[in-house]
Chains A and B, each alone.
Chain A
């Protein structure tokens, strides 16, 4: 945890992305992490997965226009950060950061199964930006994975931990494992969202 400096500059306020995040800013390289860039030879190592689901509002309606960001380890459980850049377990064809805007509120993200970082169960951090909110952040886990019972984030979610589990939904003809994960922004089935310490 970082300590706030007493003389820290006041941060610019986050603000809503609004409904019109430009579709023109979409980057195909960030929408499918299994290859480094469309048309370039260079595949991420690991089991290919498709993560699909819906972003839902308080009434169970699709949250149109949401911008989703994904962050995960590579197949060996290593996050690609400046601190790990020299690590031999880094996959040169995988950076772990994905982004996509969903017009309808339904999403489908192609990536590889993240490995378990030390002390953790495999997971994907998901950030949601949309009209009406600034940013909400959660971590999604795999219902059938080892390590879920001891993962600190799932433990912190307590009785709501099942809401962080993606359900396995078979395999495509191409051999991709399919997982389903709905993000409920508000309401009775609300997804647990996480934040840094506040008080």
Chain B
């Protein structure tokens, strides 16, 4: 059988996906040069001591509006090895569905107590933890009434581990119609956080979200 590269899927009802998805099959990386495609991110990350708590803009400041949540999990490679001291960058919309990003022109309400971005490092066992506000869903395609379901963006980089992903929430009405979720198919279930008890933490809800870096992708390697 001749080996062929993937043809990337285009997210249905996603204009940007239509504009930006390559149409040609991806070229296979030639034998022997695979390593050259795998960046090793230098461990020079800086995170502020309070960046793990996105529910306040600074210690002692009021809580942001909405439902405070804790998200915890372990970052592992496909072989199960914990990825320690990796950087996880987090960003999510506020409870109204608005990002505090200069390019979010939705006009939705900002919350003076919510930045919606933070950074944490995994510990020696690959574990991470952060608090944020449960994000609002937002209307991504007003012309056809298509919403983006509630989601938290996560960017992971550590050594040769690299992943940008999103954590979704169970039983959300807009999960099924999300273009990126449709491309994932049944595997979408892996990107949904698992509700758990808050175990006494000062939050309203808690979720586990274990992350596995790997897959058939040029930038993963161990």
Q: Give A contacts to B, CB under 8 Å.
A: 1-2, 4-5, 8-25, 27, 29, 57-59, 61, 63-65, 69, 71, 79-82, 95-97, 103, 117, 119-120, 123, 125, 127, 129-137, 139, 152-153, 155-157, 185-187, 190-199
Are B20's CB and A11's CB within 8 A?
A: no
Residues of B close to A58: CB separation below 8 A: 18-20, 23
A194 in complex: contacting residue of B17, B37, B162, B166, CB < 8 Å? B37
Task: State the B residues within 8 Å of A (CB).
Answer: 1, 3-6, 8, 11, 14-24, 26-42, 44, 46, 76-80, 89, 91, 99, 101-104, 117, 119, 153, 155, 159-160, 162-166, 180, 184, 187-188, 190-191, 210-222
Question: Pick the contact of B91 from A20, A29, A130 — CB < 8 Å?
Answer: A20
* Contact present for B20 and A133 (CB under 8 Å): yes
Chain B residues whose C-beta falls within 8 Å of the C-beta of A22 in the assembled complex: 89, 91, 101, 117
The reply to whether A190 and B23 contact each other, CB–CB distance below 8 Å, is yes
A22 to B215, CA, bound (A): 26
How long is the Cα–Cα vector from A82 to B39 in the complex, in angstroms? Answer: 11
Whether A15 and B165, one on each chain, are in contact in the complex, defined by CB atoms closer than 8 angstroms, is yes
Contact, CB under 8 Å: B26 / A195: yes
A79 touching B104 in the complex, CB below 8 Å, given contacts A9-B78, A25-B119, A190-B24: no
- Asked whether B219 lies within 8 Å of A156 as measured between CB atoms, the reply is no
Chain B nearest CB from A155 CB (Å) reads 7
Chain B interface, >50% SS class? loop
Report A169 CB to chain B, min CB distance, Å: 25
Contact among A57, A153, A191 with B33 in the assembled complex (CB-CB below 8 Å): A153
Which residues on A sit within 8 Å (CB–CB) of B79? 5, 8-9
- Assess the A125–B36 pair: CB atoms within 8 A: yes
Q: Which residues of chain B are within 8 angstroms of A120 by Cβ–Cβ distance?
A: 33, 36
Taking a contact as CB atoms under 8 Å apart, the answer to whether B102 and A23 are in contact is yes
B17 touches A132 (CB 8 A): yes
Residue contact A199 to B30, C-beta cutoff 8 Å: no
Contact of B153 with A17 in the complex, beta carbons under 8 Å: yes
Q: Once the chains bind, are A95 and B42 in contact (CB under 8 Å)?
A: yes
5 residue pairs, one from A and one from B, having the closest CB atoms: A132-B16, A11-B215, A195-B26, A71-B39, A132-B17
The count of A-to-B residue pairs whose CB atoms sit within 8 angstroms is 239
Chain A residue with the shortest CB-CB distance to B6: A198
> Is A195 within 8 A of B16, CB to CB?
no
A2–B222 contact, CB under 8 A?
yes
Q: A71 to chain B: closest CB distance in Å?
A: 4
Inter-chain contact B89/A137, CB cutoff 8 Å: no
Interface contact B190-A125, CB-CB below 8 Å: no
The interface residues of chain B lying within 8 Å CB-to-CB of A197 are 3, 28-29, 216
Which residues on A sit within 8 Å (CB–CB) of B11? 16, 132
B27 to chain A, nearest CB (A): 5
Q: Which residue of B lies closest to A29 (CB)?
A: B44
**CB-CB nearest in chain B for A85:** B40
Cβ contacts A to B, 29 pairs, < 8 Å: A2-B222, A5-B79, A8-B79, A12-B165, A12-B212, A13-B165, A13-B187, A16-B17, A20-B103, A22-B101, A25-B117, A27-B46, A58-B23, A80-B42, A95-B44, A97-B39, A117-B36, A123-B36, A136-B26, A137-B219, A152-B32, A156-B28, A185-B22, A186-B20, A194-B5, A194-B28, A195-B5, A196-B218, A198-B216
